[in-house]
């Protein structure tokens, strides 16, 4: 164990490594059919549901719809913010962007 690892020893946590983050980015880009840099929230619901299933938390589709409620689309950066602030917190995940 490396020095400094002990501070997180008691906290159950999983880090999203760059390969997982890249997988999320590629999935987002695939869903961005017009290359506008934004994806409809309705398309991201399946991705969110899959992520939630994998980390063992419940996904509420309305919660994503309410995130940045003035728009029906979100950018990748906004999507990562949503994941960090609303989903990964429930599953105690950390993202290194």
For 1-44, the pLDDT digits (tens) are 444 444 444 434 445 567 778 899 999 999 999 999 999 999 99
Rounded Cα distance, 70 and 1, in Å: 46
Higher pLDDT, 7 or 83: 83
Q: What is the pLDDT of residues 38-62, one digit of tens each?
A: 999 999 999 999 988 888 888 888 9
Q: How confident is the model at residue 96 (pLDDT cuts 50, 70, 90)?
A: low
**Radius of gyration, alpha carbons of the chain:** 15
> Which helix or strand (DSSP H or E) is residue 15 part of?
strand 14-16
User: Does the 15-93 domain belong in CATH 1.10.238.10?
Assistant: yes
- Residue 29's CB: how many other CB atoms inside 10 A? 13
d(CA 48, CA 35): 20
Q: Are 75 and 37 in contact (CB under 8 A)?
A: yes
């Amino acid at each position: 164990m490396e020095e400094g690892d002990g501070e997180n020893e008691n906290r159950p946590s999983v880090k999203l490594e760059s390969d997982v983050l890249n997988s999320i980015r590629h999935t987002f880009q695939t869903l961005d059919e017009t290359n506008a840099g934004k994806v409809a929230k309705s398309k991201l619901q399946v991705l969110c549901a899959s992520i939630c299933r994998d980390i063992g938390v419940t996904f509420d589709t309305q919660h994503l719809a309410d995130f940045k409620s003035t728009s029906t689309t979100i950018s990748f950066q906004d999507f990562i913010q949503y994941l960090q602030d609303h989903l990964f917190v429930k599953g105690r995940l950390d993202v290194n962007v």
